[in-house]
């Protein structure tokens, strides 16, 4: 069972409640930030008893971890679809593709970005570390298996740096404008290309 999840529902009614709780968690984070997030408020917003929440999740961190994993699944599905239309030749190209899709999802999916709760106050570093490590592993698998790219050296560390740098750049881009500063966004894409060119020695 994933960290923080006590029970994964199998019946339709329970699945709908599970998803409503995640939707409510995303909306609450977007409004108040991570620090102010409470399981009682999430349950009330989802229209379910607090006991139901704890049947599924091990509290606040379990909710946020599962929300992040759902968001990662959405991102990976979009990346898979895009790679079928736009094959990539280098890790730099792949990184920019991830960056672009993350940007699109931040604009359209409530509470999509991990930074939505990082910016809201202190967060357990173990929680952030688990989310980032899972994202790094899944993106490396996507790059090697679906995009046909060579394995990265020290891939977890390399991708963790890219993930956190991209998060910081997009935080900066959205600090001054609701839709993201296009100049900052463009510089972020250039940075990712240069970073992976240096890592892989491809001279992109």
Residue-level pLDDT at 55: 93
pTM of structure: 0.85
Residue-level pLDDT at 115: 46
Residue-level pLDDT at 135: 92
Residue-level pLDDT at 61: 87
Residue-level pLDDT at 33: 81
Residue-level pLDDT at 83: 93
> Alpha helix locations (H) across the chain?
12-32, 39-46, 50-56, 59-85, 91-108, 115-118, 125-141, 155-176, 182-200
pLDDT, tens digit (0-9, with 9 covering 90-100), for 100-110: 999 998 888 88
The stretches in the chain having pLDDT less than 70 are 1-3, 113-124, 203-204
Residue-level pLDDT at 81: 94
Q: Extract the tokens encoding 4.
A: 């923080």
């Amino acid at each position: 069972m994933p960290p923080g999840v006590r029970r994964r529902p199998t019946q339709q009614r329970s699945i709908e409640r599970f998803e409503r709780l995640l939707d409510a968690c995303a909306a609450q984070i977007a409004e108040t930030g991570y620090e102010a997030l409470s399981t009682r408020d999430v349950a009330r917003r989802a229209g379910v008893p607090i006991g139901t929440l704890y049947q599924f999740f091990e509290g606040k961190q379990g909710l946020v971890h599962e929300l992040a994993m759902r968001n990662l699944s959405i991102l990976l599905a979009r990346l898979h679809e895009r790679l079928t239309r736009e094959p990539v030749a280098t890790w730099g190209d792949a990184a920019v593709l991830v960056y672009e899709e993350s940007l699109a999802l931040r604009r359209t999916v409530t509470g999509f970005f991990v930074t939505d709760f990082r910016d809201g106050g202190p967060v357990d570093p173990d929680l952030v570390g688990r989310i980032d490590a899972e994202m790094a592993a899944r993106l490396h698998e996507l790059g090697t298996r679906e995009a046909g790219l060579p394995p990265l050296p020290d891939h977890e560390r390399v991708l963790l740096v890219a993930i956190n740098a991209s998060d910081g750049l997009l935080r900066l881009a959205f600090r001054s404008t609701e839709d993201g500063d296009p100049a900052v966004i463009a510089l972020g894409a250039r940075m990712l290309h240069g970073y992976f060119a240096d890592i892989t020695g491809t001279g992109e």
